[in-house]
Copies of this chain bind each other. A is one copy, B any other.
Amino acid sequence: MEAGTRGRNRRGQGELLRSEIIAATLRLLEELGDDQALSLRAVAREVGIAATSVYLHFEDRDQLVYAAVESFHGDLAAAVEAAENAHDDPVAALTARVFTLADRLQRHPGLFKVLHESTLNQRASMPFKQAMGEGTVTAVQRCLDAALIPPGDAHELALDLRTAVHGAVSLRVNQPGEPREPLTDQLTRFLVKLLGIPT
């Protein structure tokens, strides 16, 4: 309804609003931790525009949520890849990968829930998530190739590792009250016990 204090963008700069809307959506999703609870009208309020203005850039509420989640995942993937590439040693690279991913997710509990636990998973396929899983398999395979960990199947080892890491983040995100050891302590044990990384 009533517009906020925000002025109109200059001609040709209409796309600026799009990123403002995405940013506001991410803030609200982080707060809510649930894509179904997000309302398009709340996003408009957060940005300071009329609810109908959202339709200038997104077909409907679902497309908006999807675009926001995809954007978050893109940042995440970039951070993980950068952390991994900062190390030559395969074990160090894999460790950096896992630590960075888990840490970033733990720092964005609401978005973690939207990305991995919301009903969006049932309602839309999110193909961009697949690359993240494959990256872990590759990282594990490099450790195997360099004989830095005991022989095994890269897919199975990566699956078990990802499963345990997912569980660690999920428990922390969903029961934030519980006292916990630092996340990396537990992740280190998983790397040692599940992959056989030497201590």
Contact = CB atoms under 8 A, between A and B. Distances in A.
Interface of A: 32-34, 36-37, 113, 116-117, 119, 121-122, 125, 156, 159-160, 162-168, 170-171, 174-177, 186, 189-190, 193-194
A174 B119 CA distance: 8
Copies of this chain, complex-wide, total 2
B36 A36 contact: yes
B121 A117 contact: no
16 contacts: A33-B119, A33-B122, A37-B119, A116-B170, A117-B117, A117-B174, A121-B175, A122-B176, A160-B186, A160-B193, A162-B167, A162-B171, A163-B168, A164-B167, A164-B190, A166-B171
- Main secondary structure on A side of the interface with B: helix
4 closest A-B pairs by CB: A167-B167, A166-B167, A163-B167, A164-B164
Contacts of A122: 33, 176
Given A121-B175, A163-B168, A164-B167, 9 more contacts: A34-B34, A36-B36, A117-B174, A122-B176, A156-B189, A163-B164, A163-B171, A165-B167, A193-B193
A77 to B, nearest CB: 18
Contacts of A164: 160, 163-164, 167, 190
A190 B117 contact: no
Contacts of A159: 186
Contacts of A156: 189
Contacts of A119: 32-34, 37
Contact of A170 (B117, B125, B160, B175): B117
Given A160-B189, A163-B164, A174 B36 contact: no
Query: Which of A162, A170, A189 has the most chain B CB atoms closer than 10 A to its own CB?
Result: A170
